[in-house]
Chains A and B, each alone.
Chain A
Amino acid sequence: MTRSVIELPVTADDRRIARLAALAIGLSLAEAALPSPLPGVKPGLANIVVLLVLLQYGWRAAAWVSGLRARAGGLLLGSLFAPGFWLSAAGALISLSVLALARHLPSRHFGPVSLSVLAAFGHIGGQLALAGVWFLPGAALIKLLPVFAAAALVFGTVNGVVVMRLLAAPASDRRQSAPCTLP
């Protein structure tokens, strides 16, 4: 009887994505402990990581980090494949699609704040679209649209400014404040 050994080669890219995804998952978990006045209104701190990854390592890496964050976050919070998970996944999907288009905006005129706000609107748009089609068909959600949109604008701006500051920080600083940017 021969024992078969399956070896999965791990590249430096894989390790980096895993490390960054772990950071995003950590932020998701910390955020889940924050009380929220309305389900779905969250700062979306993990998006800071996704945005940093997008700007430094490209869209593919960002999609991996975001996807892993949604799955592992669901696993750790006990909401995997529950309604909340699908909402989060739909938000992440639309947000990534928006980012895939928005990152081609001329960077001379559009900085991280633009990307962050657009991603936040994509996030809430995806969640509300799925909620409206699947969970709460009818007019009930329309009254909440302004609240969600305002939250997306505010938190998108704040996250964008955080990303901007992290990118603008000198490399030595960055090592302390944001280990995620280590190669």
Chain B
Amino acid sequence: MLFRAGDAGVLLAGAGLVIALTVYAWGGSRGDTAVIRAAGQVIETVSLTRTQTFSVSGPLGATKIEIEPGRARVARDPSPRQLCVKQGWLTQSGQAALCLPNQVSLEIRGRISAYDSLGY
């Protein structure tokens, strides 16, 4: 058999390279700050370090936002289609949940921001 120990090493190294490239090219950067806006105005900028909740009022009622270490989500919202609630937990820098009817948005930011600005 011509398959030798070094071949297994080369294959492992190749697999390692593929995995490293995948993480490098496709892995996003985790966010560390949540920015909460109502009607376009930033009303709260919190770092994702401890568990806390915020209640933001909009035209339809109160939107409840939950912050946990490393992640944040819109927990409750009066909007009819619940799109921002269904998005679930946000962790990556650049992710955002928009509750448009209630004009509330939650955006995650990290050290490197994926976009210069988001308009909506």
Contact = CB atoms under 8 A, between A and B. Distances in A.
B2 A112 contact: yes
Interface stretch (A29-37, A58-66, A102-110): A102-110
A168 B17 contact: no
A126 to B, nearest CB: 16
Contact of B21 (A111, A146, A168): A146
Chain B, interface size: which category? Answer: 10 to 19
B10 A117 contact: yes
Interface residues of A, number: 27
B42 interface: no
B59 interface: no
B118 interface: no
Contacts of B24: 142, 145
B81 interface: no
A55 to B, nearest CB: 10
Contact of A111 (B2, B14, B22): B2
A143 B114 CA distance: 14
A13 to B, nearest CB: 26
Given A112-B2, A167-B2, A145 B25 contact: yes
A113 B9 CA distance: 11
A149 B5 CA distance: 22
A110 B14 contact: no
B11 A117 contact: yes
Interface of A: 105-106, 108-114, 117-118, 121, 142-146, 149-150, 152-153, 156-157, 160, 164, 167-168
16 contacts: A108-B4, A109-B4, A110-B4, A112-B2, A113-B11, A114-B4, A117-B10, A121-B14, A144-B25, A145-B24, A145-B25, A149-B14, A149-B21, A153-B17, A157-B11, A168-B2
